[in-house]
Amino acid sequence: MTQVLIKNRKKGIESLRSPSHVSLESFTRQFDIPVSSYSRVISEITRNCSGTPLSTFSSDEKSIREKLFDAKAIAKIKIAEVSMHLDTKWREKIFRQLDLMHDDADWESDDVPIQILSIVTFLRSLGVIDYKKYPSLGMSNSGYLLAAWLYNENRLTLEFLPIDKVRWVLSVKSEDSYESAAGETQLPVLMSRLSPYDPGQWFLHGNN
């Protein structure tokens, strides 16, 4: 099975340790875990930071465009906390896609902007999974960040929920049909849930 690189942290790994019945050893059994100072920084992003201020969108004094600008700015500032550890191209891609997601041309009054707690889960996932391929990013109606990887006809989508929760769905081509699977899991055990489907095809070799 393709080995998937998963970042390990010597410092702060407790912050991502899964519930006690899943030991770190079982999580790492099938994967190589290189040590990375980058992931040490990611671990410093606590999963329980404050959410997107509702006042950003409740104020009537600002235009929709101004409110969207503020919401994007909050997200970009959070991403900037680790930007020195992000590839420049990927940081620019993330910012560009944040702009696309917050298009004022079709923004409705009950639309929800990107939620900071979702950004936090996404950034913390960078400390667990070494994404060699950049995903395409989107956003759900709840303001949660979406990421999609395509490899030929196989697709993986992750939805980053608050507090290290990830909703995933995938489809892989199998002879003449597709096999699909979905789940909702905690970040530390995400790779073990995806392991039967060779996640390396997306994270290491996928193309968008």
Partner 1 sequence: MILGSGFCMAITKKNRALVDDAHHVARYLKPKFLIRDALDEKIIGVYGQAFELRSGEEFLSVNWIEYFELPKLDALKNIVSGMKASKLSVSSKGALAVANIANIKSIGKDRKSKIRVEYRPTQGNKSHSGIFNTLNEDTEMLDLLSREAFSELVQIEKLVMLKPVGF
Contact 32, 130 (CB under 8 A): no
CB of 176 to partner 1, least distance (A): 14
* Closest CB to partner 1 among residues 49, 182: 182
Residue closest to 155 by CA, chosen among 183, 131, 180? 180
| Piece in contact with partner 1 (CB under 8 A), picked from 26-34, 49-57, 138-146, 195-203 | 138-146
Reduce the DSSP state of residue 156 to 3 states and report it: strand
CB of 184 to partner 1, least distance (A): 8
DSSP string, 29-78: TTS---B-HHHHHHTTS-S------THHHH-SSS-HHHHHHHHHHHHHHH
Decide: is 93 part of the binding site for partner 1 (CB under 8 A): yes
Decide: is 75 part of the binding site for partner 1 (CB under 8 A): no
Decide: is 128 part of the binding site for partner 1 (CB under 8 A): no
* Closest CB to partner 1 among residues 32, 179: 179
Contact 123, 195 (CB under 8 A): no
By CB under 8 A, name the one of 103, 174, 175, 177 that touches partner 1: 103
Mask for 163-202, x = binds partner 1 (CB under 8 A):
----x-x-x------x-xxx--------------------
How does 118-156 read in b/e, with b if 16+ C-beta sit within 10 Å?
bbbbbbbbbbbbbbeebbebebbeebbbbbbbbbeebbb
In the complex, the residues that contact partner 1 under the rule CB under 8 A are 93, 96-97, 100-103, 105-108, 110, 134, 136, 138-141, 146, 148, 150, 155, 157, 159, 167, 169, 171, 178, 180-182, 207-208
